[in-house]
Chains A and B, each alone.
Chain A
Amino acid sequence: MKRMATFLVNEKHYELAIEPHMLLIEVLRDKLGLTGTKQGCEIGNCGACTVLIDGKPVLSCLTLALTVEGRHITTIEGLSQGTSLHPIQKAFIDHGAIQCGFCTPGMILSAKALLDKNPNPNEKEVKQALSGNLCRCTGYVKIIEAVLAAPEVISKEAKT
Chain B
Amino acid sequence: MNRLLKRFEYLEPKYIEEALKMISDYGQKGSVLAGGTDLIIAMKKRKVNPQYIINIKSIPDLDYIRYDRENGLGIGAVTTHSAIADSPVIRDKFSLLAAACNKIGTPQVRNMGTIGGNICKAGPSQDTPPALLVLDAKVKLVSFSGNRIVPIDEFFVGPFKTVLQEAELLTEIQIPTPPSQSAGSYKWLTKVVTVDETLVGVAVLLTCDAGSRVCTDIKIGLGSVAPTPIRARKAENVLRGKSYDDRSIQEAAQVAAEETRPRSRADYRRKMTRVLVREAITEAWQSIQ
A interface residues with partner B (beta carbon < 8 Å): 1, 19-23, 26, 39, 42-44, 47, 50, 53, 56-59, 61-64, 66-67, 110, 113, 128-133
Closest to B112 in A: A58
- 10 A-B pairs (CB sep. < 8 Å): A21-B4, A42-B44, A43-B41, A58-B112, A62-B41, A62-B112, A67-B58, A129-B107, A131-B106, A132-B107
Among B4, B37, B57, B82, the residue within 8 A (CB) of A62 is B37
Closest to B107 in A: A132
Given contacts A19-B7, A39-B3, A67-B33, contact A57 B53 (CB under 8 A): no
Report B14 CB to chain A, min CB distance, Å: 14
Is B74 an interface residue, CB under 8 A from the partner?
no
- Complexed CA–CA distance, A67 and B12 (Å): 9
Please name all residues of chain B whose beta carbon is closer than 8 Å to the beta carbon of A53 when the two chains form the complex.
Answer: 111
Residue contact A67 to B195, C-beta cutoff 8 Å = no
Report B41 CB to chain A, min CB distance, Å: 5
Residue contact A58 to B111, C-beta cutoff 8 Å = yes
Residue contact A57 to B6, C-beta cutoff 8 Å = no
> B168-200 toward A: CB 8 Å interface, digit per residue (1/0)?
000000000000000000000000001100000
Given contacts A57-B111, A66-B10, A67-B36, contact A131 B3 (CB under 8 A): no
Residue contact B9 to A20, C-beta cutoff 8 Å = yes
Residue contact B107 to A131, C-beta cutoff 8 Å = yes
**Segment 1-50 of B: residues with Cβ below 8 Å from A:** 2-10, 12, 33, 36-37, 40-41, 44-45
Residue contact B107 to A110, C-beta cutoff 8 Å = yes
Residue contact A59 to B53, C-beta cutoff 8 Å = no
Please name all residues of chain B whose beta carbon is closer than 8 Å to the beta carbon of A64 when the two chains form the complex.
Answer: 10, 33, 36, 40, 53, 55
Residue contact A132 to B10, C-beta cutoff 8 Å = no
Given contacts A21-B7, A64-B10, contact A57 B36 (CB under 8 A): no
Is B89 an interface residue, CB under 8 A from the partner?
no
Please name all residues of chain A whose beta carbon is closer than 8 Å to the beta carbon of B44 when the two chains form the complex.
Answer: 42-43
Residue contact B8 to A20, C-beta cutoff 8 Å = yes
Report B62 CB to chain A, min CB distance, Å: 14
Please name all residues of chain A whose beta carbon is closer than 8 Å to the beta carbon of B2 when the two chains form the complex.
Answer: 42
Residue contact B107 to A128, C-beta cutoff 8 Å = yes
Among A1, A20, A50, the residue within 8 A (CB) of B53 is A20
Report B259 CB to chain A, min CB distance, Å: 32
Is B105 an interface residue, CB under 8 A from the partner?
yes
Given contacts A20-B53, A64-B33, A132-B195, contact A59 B109 (CB under 8 A): yes
Among A21, A62, A66, A67, the residue within 8 A (CB) of B6 is A21
Please name all residues of chain B whose beta carbon is closer than 8 Å to the beta carbon of A59 when the two chains form the complex.
Answer: 37, 108-109, 112
Please name all residues of chain A whose beta carbon is closer than 8 Å to the beta carbon of B195 when the two chains form the complex.
Answer: 131-132
Closest to A51 in B: B108
Please name all residues of chain B whose beta carbon is closer than 8 Å to the beta carbon of A19 when the two chains form the complex.
Answer: 7
- Complexed CA–CA distance, A129 and B86 (Å): 13
- Complexed CA–CA distance, A11 and B55 (Å): 25
- Complexed CA–CA distance, A73 and B4 (Å): 21
Closest to B110 in A: A132
- Complexed CA–CA distance, A132 and B6 (Å): 27
Report A52 CB to chain B, min CB distance, Å: 10
Report B251 CB to chain A, min CB distance, Å: 36
> Which of B2, B12, B109 has the most CB atoms of chain A within a 10 A radius of its CB?
B109
